[in-house]
Amino acid sequence: MPYADAKGVKIYYESHGSGPAIMLIHGSGGHHAAWWRQVAYLSQWFTVLTIDLRGFGNSDPVEGGPDSLDFVHDVEAVLEAAKIERCALLGQSIGAAAPYASPCAGRSKSPAPSSPTHSAASTIRTLRHDGGQPARG
């Protein structure tokens, strides 16, 4: 089981497939396996990273409960540990906080919170058709 170190907190992650990278970030009460169907499909074309944010799943628990402001450190630590330079970030619910606030946004191809106003499917289609490059305009 691979772990990344996020300022002393062990963060569990998995990596599947190869190609342009996508990180799938679970929502509140979830964990990396929430994305199992997407991983099976997307790993045909992409390197798909899943993560257990601090306080969830196989990652270290945190005293007083997790703080979404720390999730950014979790994402950055996993990207460093997995040696991923550029990555699309896809978050569900509270997992969308990390892509928006991430200092690794410069490494991100297209932060894509999963919501009715932003279609994750369109982001994935864009990445597939543009060879992993963000859409223009």
Of 111, 93, 110, 92, which is closest to residue 101 (Cα–Cα)? 111
Q: Please determine, for residue 119, whether its predicted confidence score (pLDDT) is greater than 60.
A: no
Report the pLDDT value the prediction gives residue 80, as an integer from 0 to 100.
Answer: 93
pLDDT of 132 strictly over 60: no
Q: What is the pLDDT of residue 112?
A: 46
Model confidence at 104, in pLDDT bands (50, 70, 90)?
low
| 11-20, 66-75, 106-115, 122-131: range with lowest mean pLDDT | 106-115
Residue ranges covered by each domain of the chain? 3-129
Which residues, in sequence order, are CB contacts of 64 under 8 Å at separation 6+?
Answer: none
Dist CA 8 CA 75 (whole Å): 14
* Amino acid letter, residue 104: C
CA distances from 1 to 14, 36, 52, 91, 108 (A): 8, 16, 12, 22, 25
Instruction: Specify the pLDDT at position 53.
Output: 93
How much is the pLDDT for 127?
53
pLDDT for residue 20 is more than 60: yes
Asked: is 3-129 a CATH 3.40.50.1820 domain? The reply is yes
pLDDT tens readout for residues 48-100: 999 999 999 999 999 988 888 888 899 999 999 999 988 888 888 877 777 65
Residue 87 β-bridge partners:
21, 108
